[in-house]
Amino acid sequence: MKLILLALVVWALGWGINIWIARQKAGRWQSIVSAAVFGVTLVIMWELIVRGSGVSPVILPPPSMIYAAFIGSTDTLAADFFQTFVKGVLTGYAMGVGAAFLTALAIDRSDFLKRGLLPIGNFVAALPIIGMAPILVMWFGFDWQSKAAVVVVMIFFPMLVNTVQGLDAADKMQKDLMRTYAADYWQTLFKLRLPAAAPFIFNGLKIASTLALIGAIVAEFFGSPIVGMGFRISTGAGRLELDLVWAEIVVAAIAGSAFYGIVALVERKATFWHPSQRKGRGR
Amino acid sequence: MMRNLFPILTVTLVIFALWYAFAIVLNKNWAYDKAVRGNYELSFSELVADTWSQKKPRLPTPDQVAAEIWKSTGAAAIKKWGRSEGRPLSYRLGKVFGDKKSLLRHAWLTLSATMLGFVFGTGLGILLAVGIVHNKAMDNSVMPWVITSQTIPILALAPMIIVVLNAVGVSGLVPKAIISAYLSFFPVVVGMVKGLRSPDSIQLDQMRTWFASKSQVFWKLRLPASVPYLFTSLKIGVAASLVGAIVGELTISQDGGLGARMLQGNYYGTTILIWAALIFAAAMAAVLVSSVGLVERITKKRMGFVA
């Protein structure tokens, strides 16, 4: 009971700090600190409430136990990470993004294909493609190849649709200007249309980065060698080793956020000229 | 629309043609195996016929999938109906709708989890967005975590969420709906925040000159302005909900649902079953998204947005 009261106090404290921060003059650090305070408050409350109300650690382990499991099984976690992320996700991501990009360039040259494929691409992008996972595991076997295949299938259409839209982003005026310079197709492509498409392409890359990790992990639920993040999560949950499962989820969360963050960072460097990336806060 | 019809049809036809071609390529090994074991020669047309009609093909053809869908929906219902001849109507209807193997029943289970999660997620998303727009502290602290929450592969959490909820005695629809809700709240938060902030400063100033209170600004300006954004998010959200429900069913397969059917097909190697569930899920996604689109069009028309 005391611990729960303490949790409420921590919550009030965190809330108070954030309100105080919000009243300060806006600066770069403001939102970062504020978010950090919120996160830390949540973790402390989790720990206190789980301990205070006597929730069985089998159901919801407190953060300290998850941390202990994380430290205690770094070897397993590293092997799982290597199997799922480096082998499955990154290979699949590279192949899927590359294939979608080349297809988009090919489609773009034909108005007929564009009108035919875009609506279908949009439709497929909304489908529960993850359901393909069991089929692809059957086709490509249990190892990482099938995971990479699931990733490719999952990210292909979102990437394709975004790239095709991006290639349409250049203004008519700008295209006309390129014509007056007597630029050929490739010059126009590399100097005008691809740069203009960059924000859309990066949007696709970001969507694909989150989809890729999900695809690889879920694919492992359908069969995998005895290593891999999805394998560990599903078997760990079955054996009620929830601290290990949570540690694996922490790894997945960090990997997912880092992957997304790296793509976003590259975007900021590459498309610094775009309004959404310029300095200064919007409303 | 009409202008696009011909290209779309052409592309669809090409996809079907490729599908049949791939079926030959992927299934031919099994056909050859059988031929070697039975000690007979396969001509090309026999090979094609065999690859398109195997019982457990690596890639079933579209017509096999369609036949399976019909068998487990319409044909099954007709059979049940015919077999209970002479019983009272309510009993017969119960037989038809209570058919455990019917794809329709599985689809209904998935749909109800999807809708429950979608409603939860949308409600939560709208509430969060309203809080974020009106409270700077919340904007600063919650928004980054909302975004981070989506880089966490939530679908990977599905088995654990379900095990944990089962342990505390929550089972059935709710665990699946929670996964759906988690997936669908994000687009709603992002869209609603954008929408609630979309009124121009001119419009906000106008409200100020009318001495409108904060709640009046909210109900009469911000909320109506956010409607188009909300609907765009809802379309993404409903599709995400369906994915969440299906992945949830992959873990609690004993309750049934389209995801459970896929898993079942995976265990027994009956690819046709997986494809039938997959195509059915795809059709459901299309219907869900387009019905949200329909509501969107009607609402926008009523509210006087230019279509």
Handedness of CA A175, A177, A179, A185 (dihedral sign): negative
Q: Residue B99 has what pLDDT? A: 66
Nearest chain B residue to A30 by CA: give it.
B140
Nearest chain B residue to A230 by CA: give it.
B156
Q: Residue A99 has what pLDDT? A: 94
Structure tokens at B1: 């629309």
Residues with Cβ within 8 Å of A20's Cβ and at least 6 positions away in sequence, in order, are: none
Neighbour count for residue A283 (Cβ, 10 Å): 8
Q: How far is B86 from chain A (nearest CA, A)?
A: 41
| Range scoring the smallest mean pLDDT among A24-33, A162-171, A188-197, A265-274 | A24-33
Query: Which residues in chain B (77-136) have CB-CB distances under 8 A to chain A?
Result: 135-136
pLDDT digits (tens, 9 = 90+) for A232-275: 888 887 777 888 888 888 888 888 888 888 988 888 888 777 76
Q: Where does A70-277 sit in CATH, by number?
A: 1.10.3720.10
Q: ipTM for the complex?
A: 0.72
B141 touches chain A (CB under 8 A): yes
| Range scoring the smallest mean pLDDT among A2-16, A97-111, B36-50, B176-190 | B36-50
Helix and strand counts by DSSP (H, E) for chain B: 14, 0
CA-wise closest residue to B125 among B69, B182, B170, B74: B182
Distance CA B263, CA A272 (A): 46
User: What is the amino acid identity at position B1?
Assistant: M
A18 touches chain B (CB under 8 A): yes
Q: Residue B25 has what pLDDT? A: 78
What CATH class does B102-303 carry? mainly alpha
pLDDT digits (tens, 9 = 90+) for A174-217: 888 989 999 888 888 888 888 888 888 888 898 888 888 888 88
Domain ranges of chain B: 1-59, 102-303
Nearest chain A residue to B143 by CA: give it.
A35
Q: Residue A281 has what pLDDT? A: 47
Chain A residues closer than 8 Å to B271 by CB: 135, 138
Q: Residue A96 has what pLDDT? A: 93
Q: What is the mean pLDDT of residues A86-94?
A: 90
Whether A252 and B156 lie within 8 Å, measured CB to CB: yes
Distance CA A82, CA B209 (A): 61
Q: Residue A283 has what pLDDT? A: 38
Mean residue pLDDT across chain A: 82
Distances (CA, A) of B303 to A12, B233, B306, B307: 42, 18, 9, 10
Chain B residues closer than 8 Å to A19 by CB: 137
Nearest chain A residue to B59 by CA: give it.
A135
| pLDDT digit string (tens) for chain B, length 307 residues | 567 778 888 888 888 888 888 777 777 777 777 777 777 777 777 777 777 777 777 778 788 778 878 877 777 677 777 777 777 777 777 766 666 667 788 888 888 889 999 999 999 999 988 888 887 777 777 777 777 777 676 666 777 777 777 777 777 788 888 888 888 888 888 888 888 888 888 888 888 899 988 888 888 888 888 888 888 888 888 888 888 888 888 776 667 788 888 877 777 777 788 888 888 888 888 888 889 989 988 988 888 876 5
Query: Which residues in chain A (194-253) have CB-CB distances under 8 A to chain B?
Result: 210, 213-214, 217-218, 221-223, 229-230, 233-234, 236-238, 240, 242, 245-246, 249, 252-253
Q: Residue A282 has what pLDDT? A: 44
Instruction: Quote the crossing angle between the two packed helices B154-167 and B173-196, to the nearest 10°.
Output: 130
A134 touches chain B (CB under 8 A): yes
Q: Residue A47 has what pLDDT? A: 83
Q: Residue B97 has what pLDDT? A: 66
Nearest residue, CB atoms, A126 vs list B162, B163, B289: B289
Whether A242 and B160 lie within 8 Å, measured CB to CB: yes
B145 touches chain A (CB under 8 A): yes
Q: Residue B258 has what pLDDT? A: 82
Nearest residue, CB atoms, A135 vs list B243, B271, B289: B271
Is it the case that residue A88 has pLDDT exceeding 60?
yes
